[in-house]
Amino acid sequence: MPVPFVAYHGVTSAQHQANFNKYSGDGFRMISLSVYGSTSSPRYAAVWAKESGPAWVAAHGINAQGYQNFFNTWTAKGYIPRIISATGAGSSAVFATVFEKVKFPAMIGRHGMSKSQFDAQNSDAKKQNLILHTCAAYGSSSSRLYAGVWVSNIGNTKWLVYSDLDAAGYQKQFNACIQLPYYTPEIVSVFEDNHYCALFTDRIRGSFVAKHNIGPVSYQTAFDEQVAAGRIPFTLDAGGVGSGAKFAVVFAETHTPRPRIWRTNGTGIPATSGLDSIVKSFMQKHGVRYAQLCVGKGGSIKYNKALTWAENSYKTADNSDLFLLASCSKLFVHAAIRELYNKSPKVLEPTDKAYGILGFSSPKDSRSDDITVKNLLENKGGFDAKGYDCTYDMRNVAIALGLNRAVTKTELAKYMYKNKNLLDDPGTVDNYCNYGYVLLTLVIEKVSGQNYFNFLKKEVLDKIGVTEVKVWPTVASPRSSNEVATESAGLGSSAVNITSSDQVPNVYGGDGMVKEVAAGSCGLASSALGMVQTIRNYAVWGTGGRANGSARSGSTPGSSTLAVSNADNFDWAYTINTRDFLKGGEDYEPLKELNDAITKFLADNKSKI
Q: What tens digit of pLDDT does each residue of 88-115 get?
A: 998 899 999 999 999 999 999 999 999 9
286 has pLDDT over 70: yes
Residues of the chain with CATH 3.40.710.10: 263-604
State how far the Cα of 193 lies from the Cα of 312, in Å rounded to an integer: 39
Assign 53 to helix, strand or coil.
Answer: coil
Q: Give the dihedral sign, CA 134/139/140/145.
A: negative
Instruction: Read off the pLDDT band of 143 (50, 70, 90).
Output: very high
Quick: pLDDT tens for 410-432. 999 999 999 999 999 999 999 99
Quick: pLDDT tens for 354-366. 999 999 999 999 9
Predicted confidence at residue 565, as pLDDT, reads 99
Assign 278 to helix, strand or coil.
Answer: helix
542 has pLDDT over 70: yes
335 has pLDDT over 70: yes
Q: Which whole number is the average pLDDT over 486-505?
A: 97
586 has pLDDT over 80: no
State how far the Cα of 439 lies from the Cα of 373, in Å rounded to an integer: 9
Predicted confidence at residue 247, as pLDDT, reads 98
Predicted confidence at residue 2, as pLDDT, reads 82
Give percent of the chain with pLDDT exceeding 70.
Answer: 100
Q: Give the dihedral sign, CA 266/270/271/277.
A: positive
587 has pLDDT over 90: no
Q: Which whole number is the average pLDDT over 323-333?
A: 99
- CA angle, residues 66, 69, 71, in degrees to nearest 5: 110
The half-sphere exposure of 471 on its side-chain side, counting CA atoms within 13 A, is 20
Quick: pLDDT tens for 454-476. 999 999 999 999 999 999 999 99
Quick: pLDDT tens for 185-202. 999 999 999 999 999 999
State how far the Cα of 352 lies from the Cα of 342, in Å rounded to an integer: 15
Q: Give the residue among 602, 537, 512, 599 at the shortest CA–CA distance from 562.
A: 599
State how far the Cα of 261 lies from the Cα of 473, in Å rounded to an integer: 28
Predicted confidence at residue 90, as pLDDT, reads 85
Mean model confidence pLDDT for the chain: 97
Q: Give the dihedral sign, CA 442/443/447/448.
A: negative
**φ, ψ for residue 282 (rounded to 5)?**
-65, -45
Predicted confidence at residue 1, as pLDDT, reads 64
Give percent of the chain with pLDDT exceeding 90.
Answer: 98
Task: Give the type of residue at 575.
Answer: T
Q: Give the residue among 20, 14, 17 at the shortest CA–CA distance from 6.
A: 20
In 486-536, beta strands by DSSP E: 491-493, 503-505, 524-526
Backbone dihedral region for residue 490 (phi beyond 0: left; psi -120 to 50: alpha; all else: beta)? beta
477 has pLDDT over 80: yes
Predicted confidence at residue 290, as pLDDT, reads 99
Q: Which whole number is the average pLDDT over 257-271?
A: 98
**φ, ψ for residue 594 (rounded to 5)?**
-65, -45
What does each C-alpha distance from 246 to 110, 240, 607 come to in angstroms? 26, 6, 68
Q: Give the residue among 357, 389, 362, 397 at the shortest CA–CA distance from 373.
A: 357
Matching CATH number, 263-604, of 2.120.10.30, 3.40.50.300, 3.40.710.10, 1.10.490.10: 3.40.710.10
Instruction: Read off the pLDDT band of 508 (50, 70, 90).
Output: very high
Q: Which whole number is the average pLDDT over 156-172?
A: 98
The radius of gyration computed from the CA coordinates of the chain, to the nearest angstrom, equals: 28
502 has pLDDT over 70: yes
Q: How far apart are the first and last CA of the chain?
A: 48
Quick check: 531 and 563 in contact, CB under 8 A? yes
387 has pLDDT over 80: yes
